[in-house]
């Protein structure tokens, strides 16, 4: 029995899908302690958009440590935070006409969601929140309340209150007017549903199975929130920071949410950091009303600033759109013809292959086969029936194409195993 089985809790999960011991990493490659090379299409669940140990980012982190830069400061003012905020404002907020205030939350994405929900309720005086079927927003109590999956909710099902789930435009709901339905609930004085403080959504439901909301639908949702005086919270934790080809995933619709949560790749290098962006009128927390010991990760400020510079200097988001066409073309020409019951969905560099219409178990078969061929890849969606492709935004074309070929071979293997 390994030290992990002897000492570590049974709650561990990803290591069960990838049963090796990793040691080093570079770019889109992970190396085990015995030197085996794995191509990474998992990307730290979206925390490594700029690749493993990106030298532009890590050189600045090392320089900061060597000069004895402060590593912990709670929410005190530091030169590292100052430089990050100045760069974030000049490179992200100002060009988009946004004057949002920035709140540094506890170090994980779920804490940013907790802060957003708490702030929405305080700012409006209302308790109810609308979320969507297929949503994933985190595993702490408030975030879990707006997460729809039964497996995630099971341990705290009796404690998840004041949230109403609305249909997301997917499956049957794709042809159903979900916006009209929400309006009907709000207008009906016998719907049994209180007007919400906020509506929270991911414009691309990543853990939900890579479900991409259409720009027109997002525009209609923004208009609905404006009409009814409801705050719109956009969760950019997994699909922000350039994943869809623009820094924010909602940019394709030309909307601006009232609040935005960011984490995962906002530090650029895998260092924990999470942000809540809010319209200035919503900046109503009193000092310390939402706090945490690690809400100011100084190394994350250093690499986060470097990440924004790197993206600008390399024209990274345009590169994402170019690579999107490589993935889209491959999936359409090489994967869909394998079986008419397969389907694909995606945008930018997040894509899913749906096996549900054939056999939900095939996504696991394909994932295991990929790992046998040295590709790390995860699953998502209803009953984990979607093979989720999420490589680094910096992945070289050769690695991207090699990974796609591995996915194709694994899909063929899975289909043959099903007879």
- Rounded to whole angstroms, the Cα distance separating 396 from 347 reads 18
> Do 144 and 113 reside in the same domain of the chain?
yes
pLDDT recorded at residue 175: 83
Q: Tell me, what CATH number does 116's domain have?
A: 3.40.640.10
Asked if 68 and 132 sit in the same domain, the reply is: yes
For 116-125, 139-148, 200-209, which range has the lowest pLDDT when averaged over its residues?
139-148
Domain co-membership, 128 together with 22: no
Question: Could you say which of 313, 329, 358 is where a domain stops?
Answer: 313
Domain residues for the domain of 129 are 58-313
Q: Are residues 44 and 92 in the same domain?
A: no
Same domain, 115 and 100: yes
What is d(CA 297, CA 273) in angstroms, rounded to the nearest whole number?
A: 6
Domain shared by 372 and 297, yes or no: no
Sign of CA dihedral 101, 102, 108, 109: positive
Query: How much is the pLDDT for 158?
Result: 58
C-beta neighbour count of 155 within 10 angstroms: 10
Instruction: For 146-180, write each residue's pLDDT tens digit.
Output: 888 877 777 665 566 789 999 999 887 778 999 99
Q: CA geometry: angle at 248 spanning 274 and 264, to 5°? A: 30
Same domain, 299 and 226: yes
CATH number at residue 388: 3.90.1150.10
**Total domains present in the chain:** 2
Closest CA to 54 of 316, 296, 273, 245: 316
Q: Tell whether 207 and 68 lie within a shared domain.
A: yes
pLDDT for residue 283 is more than 80: yes
Q: What single string gives the DSSP state of each residue in 78-114?
A: -HHHHHHHHHHIIIIIGGGT---EEEE-SSSHHHHHH
**pLDDT recorded at residue 274:** 97
**For position 156, what pLDDT does the model report?**
66
Whether residue 166 is found in the same domain as residue 259:
yes
Per-residue pLDDT, 171: 80
- CA-based torsion, 168, 261, 150, 122: positive or negative: negative
Among candidate residues 313, 337, 361, the one where a domain is terminated: 313
pLDDT(1) > 70: no
Residues 33 and 136 in one domain: no
Whether the per-residue pLDDT at 140 is higher than 80: the answer is: yes
Asked if 217 and 346 sit in the same domain, the reply is: no
Pairing assessment for the beta strands 378-380 and 386-389 based on DSSP bridges: antiparallel
141 and 262 share a domain? yes
> Domain end: 283, 298, 313, which one?
313
User: pLDDT tens-digit profile of 197-220?
Assistant: 999 999 999 999 999 999 999 999
């Amino acid at each position: 029995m390994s030290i992990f089985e002897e000492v570590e809790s049974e709650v561990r999960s990803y290591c069960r899908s990838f049963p090796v011991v990793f040691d080093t990493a570079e770019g889109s490659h992970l190396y085990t302690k015995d030197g085996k090379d794995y191509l990474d299409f998992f990307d730290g669940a979206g925390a490594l958009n700029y690749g493993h140990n990106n030298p532009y980012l890590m050189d600045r982190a090392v320089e900061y440590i060597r000069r004895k830069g402060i590593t912990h400061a709670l929410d005190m003012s530091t030169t590292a935070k100052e430089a990050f905020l100045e760069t974030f404002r000049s490179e992200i907020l100002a060009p988009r006409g946004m004057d949002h205030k920035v709140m540094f939350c506890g170090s994980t994405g779920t804490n940013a969601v907790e802060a957003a929900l708490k702030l929405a309720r305080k700012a409006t005086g209302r308790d109810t929140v609308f979320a969507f079927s297929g949503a994933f927003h985190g595993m702490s109590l408030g975030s879990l309340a707006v997460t729809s999956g039964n497996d995630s909710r099971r341990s705290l099902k009796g404690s998840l209150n004041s949230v109403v789930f609305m249909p997301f435009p997917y499956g049957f709901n794709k042809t159903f007017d979900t916006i009209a339905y929400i309006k009907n609930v709000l207008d009906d004085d016998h719907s049994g549903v209180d007007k919400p403080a906020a509506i929270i959504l991911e414009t691309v439901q990543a853990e939900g199975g890579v479900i991409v909301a259409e720009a027109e639908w997002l525009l209609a949702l923004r208009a609905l929130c404006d009409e009814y005086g409801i705050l719109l919270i956009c969760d950019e934790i997994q699909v922000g920071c350039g994943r869809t080809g623009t820094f924010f995933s909602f940019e394709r619709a030309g909307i601006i949410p009232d609040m935005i949560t960011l984490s995962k790749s906002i530090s650029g290098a895998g260092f924990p950091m999470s942000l809540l962006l809010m319209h200035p009128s919503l900046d109503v927390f009193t000092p310390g009303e939402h706090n945490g010991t690690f809400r100011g990760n100084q190394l994350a400020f250093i690499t986060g600033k470097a990440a924004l510079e790197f993206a600008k200097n390399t024209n990274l988001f345009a590169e994402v759109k170019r690579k999107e066409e490589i993935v889209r073309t491959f999936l359409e020409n090489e994967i869909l013809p394998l079986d008419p019951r397969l389907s694909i969905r995606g945008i930018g560099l997040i894509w899913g292959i749906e096996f549900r219409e054939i056999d939900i178990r095939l996504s696991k078969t394909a994932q295991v086969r990929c790992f046998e061929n040295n590709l790390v890849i995860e699953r998502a969606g209803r009953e984990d029936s979607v093979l989720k492709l999420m490589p680094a935004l910096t992945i070289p074309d050769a690695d991207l194409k090699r990974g796609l070929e591995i996915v194709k071979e694994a899909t063929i293997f899975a289909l043959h195993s099903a007879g």
